[in-house]
């Protein structure tokens, strides 16, 4: 099974970065949002580190990473070019925000991240994969960003815990509901549903997400809980990239 | 990977442009930095290549004329010659792999010696050392036995290039040797057609387009004579009906208007039932049976007394009403034709079945008719000098004094032999048994060329035992086959692109030149050069011990095969005319027997053949029961479209399309044995066993299993583990040995490891 | 009006021999494990007998190619005659075209580390020759047609077993296979 690990890490890490950026920008929405002891720069630095790591991971997906910059050529047509461009800008804005404390920069960075999520949602919804040729990837990615943002985008006390629980429940419901919806779709969607349901990473990921949800009620170590959620999302993302069936694999069979 | 290193000029051109483009981009407008300039490919230019004429020499109906495109001394690609209306610009899936065969990393590169047969402990030796060892052994045998009958030749259809008969010539030039004679391919049908018609002679296949009704009987041209399919289609487009009769729903059957899944080995009963129905309906061509035939009244009496349509239907499994309908349609259409496949006669009653079908077609008067005929094969374009084959033994050679016959269907030398001694004939279809049984002298040494006995000879386990008796085995090969594994010395032989020869077909009427297009790779040598080298080694050790010329030129030897008869038949002024493209025989008619003067003793079509009776069979094409089943399933091991016997499937190019073999089994049979689709199974009988994945398909009958013979370089798959050497009825008369009943084999099957 | 080149596959004539696909490897000198054209047997639910009817497919040279839209490096080009050309020399091997094409036309060349696909042998067409696969088809099942010229009747754009992608508007056309009347035990 080809799980496309570079894409798994690229998408999850950039979504982590977007989530942190959103959390940080949210905290800065009022001048008094920053409480004593908070170090908003640490969040921005974290976001930048995640974004940079994600972009680095994406290079491993290329056969010729040294020419990665040419991937920006087709901004006119290719969602992949647009995704690359927006996340490139996003990373630059994050870096800028780390260096210069300015609310407009924070807002701009957060906005770029959200636009990046939209681009990503469109890039990974190819026409050749009927099961995900819809808004599902966007919602999966957006929820991942919210969950990771609310886990890693907080300092000291968990001010975003309700958002985290809400988005976790939404993601779990979505992950469990989607294969059921597919079973009433075409042959390829049904086969994708079966592949997801038979996927070990999928159930492992779901279990970890559920564990993360439980941990959020125990209010124990937030770092441990964040890592549990990160692993859960990585695992389900492996299924997304590795077990979603492509029409080309079914040619000659009924669709 | 040699090939890729010499990558095409187009790619080099692209690379050049790319460099220029990149340089331009850097100095150009900023936007082009992101979008490097692309290369534009130049149109394909055939004049950049040297084009050579080649011919596919495999044992195949189609014997394609090839155009080979060479640049920088490397074959870049091949295509079918457009000049031949039969090849018509297209090769088959096998033919297109040829560039890979030449440059395959798997090729045997130099002579090698295996220390311990089967050990895999191969070491490279020089040609001198190889030929020295071989010559020493031959002289040793002569000293021990006083003759060379202990040296045997196993050669058949791996390369039908005419000059490759120099291998037989090389053996003759050493003295009298033992020869494996006969053919596993088509002998029963050859004899059958000889009894009925006086020769095996088919219509031009291209005239099938004119047929109004075609029965393809036990042939699968969609896989085994792909170029013939266009004539079937052309006939259908003009309104002809196509009926396919076969135990397997073949690819050809899928293209038919009507398919009859006959019980294997009952084709004779079906043909007789159809003949009886012609009688009943008064559909017999009275003119033909009375004026052009003998013995019809006897045959009619036999039919009336012994055959009914219901009787035939009962035996062959085809409903009586279908038999009646097709018989009437066939008789009403004119011309109507039957194509008899070779698989149909690989039965203990094979020859008798071919005779019954011949008789059915003869009764409809379709013999000697353009677009009609009962088609099987022909050797009418094979009138070469066989100069390479006909070498004289050294003075004073001692040989075999027993009875002999022809050395195969391609033995065009009979009659010209000195009387005192001959070669010792051994039955090719019982190679293992003959090696085990040979006495006075025993077979001590085996020379193998253009053949892969471990892939093609029957009862592999017995063959293994037989090879242990041999003191030396020399294989002339291109790849490390199972036979090479059982050899002491292997000599690398050229591919068709590295040697000169000339080729004709046993089906169509085209003649193709085969030019040397490239220098031999590695240390490969042609069979002709190998013969000359052996002669040199022999004469150096014992002057006069080998009459084969010690200096040869492949091109000259090719030219020596031509004669006036060939030039006239093909309308050539010289062989060089063939450099412009293949030539077709000029024929008075596209129909064989068009003057209805048959080559039988009576000069007529013989429904009743005394010759046949003298040879121990029935004079009439009577019904003969097939071989009794000895296990629950009949096993059929026919050809697959990806290979020709053991060739082609071993190439990595072919693996891209045909990576693995299967045993094909009917869904009900599979369910009864608890075999799932794709599960590993063990197919076994008294001969041996094969472990192979199952493919469940309704294209095979419930009581049959099918495996396609092939050699996979990475797999231990060999159908000869299950096929015994049971003889077919006919074949000895024209080919020296009866055929083999390789479709009368019986096996059982069980899932392996829980069936998954 | 300019041409719009397309493949026509007469599945009723196609014998699944793979000659087209091998001729492509032969002429285009593909890596040993690479194919630009593949022959797919139809499932028994579509054609009643297993491995007896086929879809021989390479690139469909779509009207709106998914590969061209997906490629971030502009390595795809659509010629005025409809041929979709992939330029290996600018490909960075991101595989996005392979993910995006519903027909599996672009494939990844592991040895040379880039995507590649059927070029419709445009170098041959430009020299007045047929594509290698079409020339190789010995039953006449695979033909080159011009969609902007009058077409024979009975052509199908989306046979069963072939992804139905109206947005892309693939150019390949098909004639459906028939099955023989059977007399069997």
pLDDT digits (tens, 9 = 90+) for A36-58: 556 678 999 999 999 999 999 99
Which residues on chain B are in Cβ contact (under 8 Å) with A73?
Answer: 34-35
When the candidates are 2.60.40.10, 3.40.50.1000, 3.40.228.10, 2.20.25.90, the CATH number that belongs to B2-103 is 2.20.25.90
CB contact under 8 A, A64 and C92: yes
Residue B9 is predicted with a pLDDT of 41
Nearest CA in chain B to A69: B34
Q: Indicate the burial class of B70 (C-beta count within 10 angstroms; 0-12, 13-18, 19 or more).
A: middle
Confidence check: pLDDT of B7 > 50: no
Whether residue B729 is predicted with pLDDT greater than 90 in this model: the reply is yes
8 Å CB contact of C19 and B96: yes
Nearest CA in chain B to A68: B34
What pLDDT, in 10s, does the model give residues B596-633?
A: 999 999 999 999 999 999 999 999 999 999 999 999 99
Residue A68 to residue C92, Cβ atoms within 8 A: yes
Query: B207-247, pLDDT tens digit by residue?
Result: 999 999 999 999 999 999 999 999 999 999 999 999 999 99
Probe site for chain C from A59, A80, A250 (most C CB atoms < 10 A):
A80
Contacts of A69 in chain B (CB under 8 A): 34
- Residues with Cβ within 8 Å of A214's Cβ and at least 6 positions away in sequence, in order, are none
The band of B340, judged by pLDDT with boundaries at 50, 70 and 90, is: very high
What share of chain C in percent tops pLDDT 70? 99
Task: State the Cα–Cα distance between residues B196 and B374, nearest whole angstrom.
Answer: 11
Contact: B227, C138; criterion CB under 8 Å: yes
Q: What is the pLDDT of residue B10?
A: 41
Q: Is B36 on the interface with A (CB under 8 A)?
A: yes
CA-based nearest residue to B674, from B691, B696, B697, B699: B696
B81 and B66 Cβ atoms separated by less than 8 Å: yes
Mutate to test the interface with A, among B26, B34, B35, B37 (most CBs of A within 10 A): B34
CB contact under 8 A, B39 and C89: yes
For chain A, the DSSP string reads ----HHHHHHHHHHHHHHHHHHHHHHHTTSGGGSPTT--HHHHHHHHHHHHHHHHHHHHTT-S-GGGGGGGGTTTTT-HHHHHHHHHHHHHHHHHHHHHS--HHHHHHHHHHHHHHHHHHHHHT--TT-GGGSSSHHHHHHHHHHHHHHHHHS--SS-TTHHHHHHHHHHHHHHHHHHHHHHTTS-HHHHHHHHHHHT-HHHHHHHHHHHHHHHHHHHT--HHHHHHHHHHHHHHHHHHHHHSS--GGGGTTS--
* C residues 151-170 lying closer than 8 A (beta carbon) to B: none
pLDDT tens by residue, B670-722? 999 999 999 999 999 999 999 999 999 999 999 999 999 999 999 999 999 99
The pLDDT of residue B15:
42
Cβ of B96 within 8 Å of Cβ of C89? The answer is no
Q: Please, which contacts does B133-138 make with residues 24 or more away whose CB atoms are closer than 8 Å?
A: B133/B489, B134/B472, B134/B474, B134/B489, B134/B534, B134/B537, B135/B534, B135/B537, B135/B538, B135/B540, B135/B541, B136/B541, B137/B445, B137/B471, B137/B472, B138/B174, B138/B445, B138/B538, B138/B545
Q: How far apart are CA B345 and CA B362, in angstroms?
A: 19
Which one-letter DSSP state was computed for residue B688? -
CA angle C23, C24, C29 (to 5 degrees): 105
Helix (H) or strand (E) holding B583: strand B583-584
- pLDDT for the residue numbered B116: 95
**Of the partner residues C57, C66, C100, the one whose CB lies closest to the CB of residue A251:** C57
Q: Are strands C76-78 and B633-636 parallel, antiparallel or unpaired?
A: unpaired
The pLDDT of residue B33 is above 60: no
State how far the Cα of B131 lies from the Cα of C60, in Å rounded to an integer.
56
In total, the C-beta contacts within 8 angstroms joining chain A to chain C are: 114
Tokens at B218, concatenated: 């036990």
What's the CATH code, domain B202-376?
A: 3.40.228.10
Which residue in the set B44, B259, B653 is minimally distant from C182, CB to CB? B259
A5-250 falls under which CATH superfamily? Answer: Formate dehydrogenase/DMSO reductase domain (1.20.1630.10)
Best of C76, C77, C89, C92 to substitute, by most chain A Cβ atoms within 10 angstroms, is: C92
User: Tell me, what's the pLDDT at B419?
Assistant: 64
Per-residue pLDDT, B41:
77
The verdict on A31 touching C (C-beta cutoff 8 Å) is no
**How many percent of chain B have pLDDT more than 90?**
92
CATH 3.40.50.740 boundaries in chain B: 112-183+418-584
User: Could you tell me where in chain B the CATH 3.40.228.10 domains are found?
Assistant: 202-376
Q: What gap in Å lies between CA C155 and CA C131, rounded to an integer?
A: 21
Which residue ranges in chain C fall short of pLDDT 50? none
Q: Which of C10, C33, C179, C184 would you mutate first to test chain B, the one with the most B CBs within 10 A?
A: C184
| B569 backbone dihedrals φ, ψ, rounded to 5° | -60, -40
CB B446 within 8 A of CB B466: no
Residue among B42, B319, B653 whose CB faces C123 most closely:
B42
Three-state secondary structure string covering chain C:
CCCCEEEEEECCCCCCCCHHHHHHHHHHCCCCCCCCCEEEECCCCCCCCCCCCEEEECCCCCCCCHHHHHCCCCCEEECCCCCEEECHHHCCCCCHHHHHCCCCCCEEECCCCEEECCCCCHHHHHCCCCCHHHHHCCCCCEEEEECCCCCCCCCECCCCCCCCCCCCCCCCEEECCCCCEEEEC
Q: Can you give the pLDDT at residue B371?
A: 98
Measure C147 CA to nearest chain B CA, in Å: 23
What domains can you pick out in chain C, each with its CATH number? 5-175 (3.30.70.20)
Around Cβ B311, how many Cβ atoms within 10 Å? 16
Tens of pLDDT, residue by residue over B167-200, are 999 999 999 999 999 999 999 999 999 999 999 9
Average the pLDDT over B414-418 and give the result.
Answer: 57
> Hey, are the CB atoms on B42 and C22 less than 8 Å from each other?
no
Contact (CB, 8 A) for B68 and B56: no
Q: Which residue of B has its CA nearest to A71?
A: B34
Min CA distance, C174 vs chain B (Å)? 16
**Pairwise CA distance, residues B192 & B615, whole Å:** 11
**B34 interfacial to chain A (CB closer than 8 Å):** yes
> Which among C16, C176, C9, A254 has a CA at the least distance from the CA of B250?
C16
CB–CB contact C167 A73 (8 Å): no
**What are the counts of helices (DSSP H) followed by strands (DSSP E) for chain B?**
27, 27
**C151 inside 8 A of chain A by CB:** no
Residue in C68, C72, C162 nearest the CB of A80? C72
Residues 6+ apart with CB under 8 A from B325: none
Q: pTM of the entire structure?
A: 0.95
Q: CA-CA distance, B160 to A64, in Å (whole number)?
A: 49
Which chain A residue shows the shortest CA-CA distance from B30? A73
The yes-or-no verdict on residue B640 having pLDDT over 50 is yes
Dump the DSSP string for B457-514: SS-HHHHHHHHHT-SEEEEEESS--HHHHT-SEEEEB--GGGS-EEEE-SSS-EEEEE
Instruction: Tell whether the model's pLDDT for residue B328 goes beyond 90.
Output: yes
Low-confidence ranges of chain A (pLDDT < 70): 1, 30-39, 155-158, 220
By the CB < 8 Å criterion, does C57 face chain A? Answer: yes
To probe the interface with B, which of A64, A66, A68, A70 has the most B CB atoms within 10 Å? A70
What average pLDDT score do residues B120-141 get?
Answer: 98
- Using CB atoms, pick whichever of B244, B254, B654 lies closest to residue C179: B254
Partner A contacted by C45 (CB < 8 A): yes
Q: Which residues from B are below 8 Å from A78, CB to CB?
A: none
Q: Is C70 on the interface with A (CB under 8 A)?
A: yes
Across B487-503, average pLDDT: 98
- Residue-averaged pLDDT of chain B: 94
Is C43's CB within 8 Å of A77's CB?
no
* Domain B112-183+418-584 coded CATH 3.40.50.740: yes
Angstroms from B19 CA to nearest CA on chain A: 15
CA A86 to chain B, closest CA, distance in angstroms equals 16
The DSSP secondary structure of B396-448, one letter per residue, reads: T---B-S----SSTT-TTTT-S-SS-BPEEEEGGGHHHHHHH--SSPP-EEEE
The SS3 of residue B293 is strand
Band (B28; pLDDT cuts 50, 70, 90): very low
**Domain B633-755 belongs in CATH node 2.40.40.20:** yes
Q: Where are the domains of chain A?
A: 5-250
Using the predicted structure, report yes or no on whether residue B255 has a pLDDT greater than 80.
yes
Residue B16 has pLDDT above 60, yes or no: no
- Which residues of chain A make contact with B34, given a CB cutoff of 8 A? 69-70, 72-73
Interchain contact, B260 vs C183, CB within 8 Å: yes
Nearest Cα residue in chain A from B32:
A73
The length of chain C is 185
- Nearest beta carbon to residue C52 from set B39, B227, B254: B254
How many other CB atoms sit within 10 Å of the CB of residue C1?
6
- Are B699 and C126 inside 8 Å of each other by CB? no
- 3-class secondary structure, B682: strand
Domain with CATH 2.40.40.20 in chain B: 633-755
Residues of chain C contacting residue A246, judged by C-beta atoms under 8 Å apart: 99, 102, 104
**Quick check: C50 and B698 in contact, CB under 8 A?**
yes
B223 closest CA partner among C49, C139, C15: C15
B34: nearest CA in chain A?
Answer: A70
Pairwise CB contact (< 8 Å): B43 & C21: no
In Å, what is the CA distance from B596 to each residue of B244, B374, B378, C121? 27, 13, 16, 50
């Amino acid at each position: 099974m080809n799980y496309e690990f570079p894409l798994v890490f690229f998408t999850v890490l950039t979504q982590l970065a977007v989530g942190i950026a959103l959390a940080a920008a949210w905290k800065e929405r009022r001048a008094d949002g920053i409480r004593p002891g908070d170090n908003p720069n640490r969040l921005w630095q974290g976001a930048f580190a995640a974004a940079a790591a994600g972009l680095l991971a994406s290079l491993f997906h290329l056969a010729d990473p040294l020419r990665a910059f040419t991937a920006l050529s087709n901004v006119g047509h290719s969602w992949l070019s647009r995704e690359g461009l927006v996340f490139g800008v996003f990373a630059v804005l994050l870096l800028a925000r780390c260096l210069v404390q300015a609310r407009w920069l924070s807002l701009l960075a957060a906005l770029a991240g959200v636009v990046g999520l939209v681009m990503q949602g469109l890039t990974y919804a190819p026409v050749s994969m009927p099961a995900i040729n819809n808004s599902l990837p966007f919602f999966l990615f957006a929820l991942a960003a919210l969950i990771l943002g609310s886990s890693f985008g907080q300092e000291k006390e968990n001010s975003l815990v309700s958002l985290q629980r809400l988005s976790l429940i939404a993601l779990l419901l979505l992950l469990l509901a989607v294969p059921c919806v597919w079973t009433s779709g075409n042959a390829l969607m049904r086969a994708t549903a079966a592949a997801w349901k038979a996927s070990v990473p999928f159930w492992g990921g779901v279990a970890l997400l559920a564990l993360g949800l439980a941990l959020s009620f125990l209010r124990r170590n937030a770092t441990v809980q964040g890592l549990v959620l990160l692993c859960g999302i990585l695992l389900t993302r492996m299924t997304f990239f590795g077990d979603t069936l492509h029409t080309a694999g079914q040619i000659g069979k009924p669709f | 990977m040699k090939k890729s290193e010499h990558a095409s000029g187009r790619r080099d051109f692209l690379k050049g442009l790319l460099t220029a483009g990149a340089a331009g981009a850097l100095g150009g407008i900023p936007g082009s930095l992101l979008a490097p300039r692309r290369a534009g490919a130049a149109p394909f230019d055939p004049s950049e290549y040297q084009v050579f004429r080649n011919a596919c020499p495999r044992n195949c109906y189609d014997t394609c004329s090839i155009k080979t495109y060479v640049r920088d001394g490397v074959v870049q690609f091949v295509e079918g010659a457009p000049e031949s209306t039969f090849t018509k610009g297209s090769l088959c899936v096998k033919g297109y792999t040829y560039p890979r065969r030449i440059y395959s990393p798997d090729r045997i590169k130099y002579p090698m010696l295996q220390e311990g047969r089967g050990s895999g402990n191969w070491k490279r030796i020089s040609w001198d050392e190889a030929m020295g060892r071989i010559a020493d052994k031959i002289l040793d045998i002569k000293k021990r036995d006083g003759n060379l009958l202990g040296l045997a030749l196993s050669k058949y259809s791996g390369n039908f290039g005419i000059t490759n008969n120099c291998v037989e010539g090389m053996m003759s030039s050493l003295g009298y040797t033992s020869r494996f004679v006969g053919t596993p391919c088509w002998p029963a049908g050859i004899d059958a057609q000889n009894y009925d018609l006086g020769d095996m002679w088919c219509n031009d296949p291209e005239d099938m387009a004119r047929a109004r009704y075609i029965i393809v009987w036990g042939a699968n041209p969609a896989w085994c004579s792909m170029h013939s399919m266009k004539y079937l289609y052309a006939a259908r487009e003009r309104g002809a009906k196509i009926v396919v009769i076969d135990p397997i729903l073949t690819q050809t059957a899928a293209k038919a208007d009507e398919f009859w899944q006959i019980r294997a080995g009952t084709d004779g009963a079906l043909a007789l039932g159809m003949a009886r129905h012609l009688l009943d309906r008064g559909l017999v061509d009275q003119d033909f049976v009375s004026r052009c035939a003998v013995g019809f009244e006897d045959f009619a009496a036999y039919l009336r007394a012994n055959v009914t349509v219901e009787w035939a239907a009962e035996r062959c499994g085809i409903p009586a009403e279908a038999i009646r309908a097709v018989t009437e349609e066939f008789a009403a259409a004119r011309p109507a034709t039957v194509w008899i496949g070779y698989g149909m006669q690989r039965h203990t009653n094979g020859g008798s079945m071919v005779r019954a079908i011949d008789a059915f077609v003869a009764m409809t008067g379709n013999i000697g008719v353009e677009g009609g005929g009962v088609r099987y094969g022909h050797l009418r374009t094979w009138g070469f000098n066989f100069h390479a084959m006909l070498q004289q033994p050294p003075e004073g050679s001692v040989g075999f004094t027993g009875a002999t016959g022809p050395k195969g269907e391609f033995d065009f030398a009979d009659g010209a032999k000195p009387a005192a001694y001959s070669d010792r004939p051994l039955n090719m279809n019982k190679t293992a048994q003959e090696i085990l049984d040979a006495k006075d002298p025993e077979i001590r040494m085996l020379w193998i060329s253009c053949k892969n006995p471990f892939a093609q000879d029957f009862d592999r386990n017995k063959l293994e035992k037989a090879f242990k008796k041999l003191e030396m085995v020399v294989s002339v090969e291109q790849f490390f086959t199972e036979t090479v594994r059982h050899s002491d010395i292997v000599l690398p032989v050229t591919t068709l692109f590295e040697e000169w020869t000339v080729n004709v077909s046993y089906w169509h009427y085209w003649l193709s030149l085969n030019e040397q297009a490239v220098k031999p790779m590695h240390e490969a040598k042609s069979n002709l050069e190998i013969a000359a080298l052996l002669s040199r080694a022999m004469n150096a050790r014992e002057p006069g011990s080998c009459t084969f010329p010690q200096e040869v030129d492949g091109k000259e030897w090719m030219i020596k095969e031509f004669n006036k008869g060939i030039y006239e038949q093909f309308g050539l002024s010289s062989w060089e005319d063939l450099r412009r493209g293949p030539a077709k025989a000029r024929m008075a008619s596209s129909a064989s027997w068009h003057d209805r003067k048959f080559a039988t003793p009576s000069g007529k079509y013989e429904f009743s053949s005394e010759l046949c009776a003298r040879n121990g069979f029935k004079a009439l094409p009577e019904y003969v029961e097939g071989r009794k089943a000895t296990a629950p399933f009949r096993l059929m091991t026919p050809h697959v479209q990806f290979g020709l016997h053991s060739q082609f499937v071993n190439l990595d190019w072919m693996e891209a399309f045909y990576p693995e073999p299967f045993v094909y089994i009917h869904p009900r049979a599979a369910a009864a044995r608890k075999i799932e689709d794709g599960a590993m199974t063990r197919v076994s009988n008294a001969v041996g066993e094969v472990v192979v994945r199952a493919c469940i398909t309704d294209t095979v009958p419930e009581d049959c299993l099918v495996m396609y013979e092939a050699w996979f370089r990475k797999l231990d798959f060999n159908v000869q583990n299950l096929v015994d050497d049971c003889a077919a009825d006919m074949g000895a008369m024209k080919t020296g040995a009866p055929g083999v009943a390789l479709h009368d084999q019986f096996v059982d099957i069980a899932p392996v490891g829980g069936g998954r | 009006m300019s041409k719009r080149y397309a493949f026509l596959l007469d599945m009723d004539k196609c014998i699944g021999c793979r000659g087209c696909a091998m001729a492509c490897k032969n002429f285009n000198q593909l890596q040993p494990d690479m194919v630009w054209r593949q022959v797919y047997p139809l499932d028994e639910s579509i054609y009643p007998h297993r491995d007896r009817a086929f879809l021989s497919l390479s690139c469909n040279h779509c009207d709106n190619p998914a590969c061209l839209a997906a490629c971030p490096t502009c390595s795809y080009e659509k010629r005025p005659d409809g041929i979709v050309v992939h330029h290996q020399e600018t490909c960075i091997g991101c595989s996005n075209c392979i993910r995006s094409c519903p027909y599996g036309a672009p494939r990844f060349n592991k040895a040379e580390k880039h995507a590649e696909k059927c070029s419709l042998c445009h170098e041959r067409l430009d020299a007045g020759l047929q594509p290698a696969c079409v020339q190789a088809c010995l039953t006449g099942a695979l033909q080159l047609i011009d969609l902007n010229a009058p077409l024979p009747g009975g052509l199908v754009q989306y046979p069963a077993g072939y992804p139905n992608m109206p947005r892309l508007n693939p150019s390949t056309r098909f004639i459906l296979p028939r099955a023989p009347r059977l007399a069997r035990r």
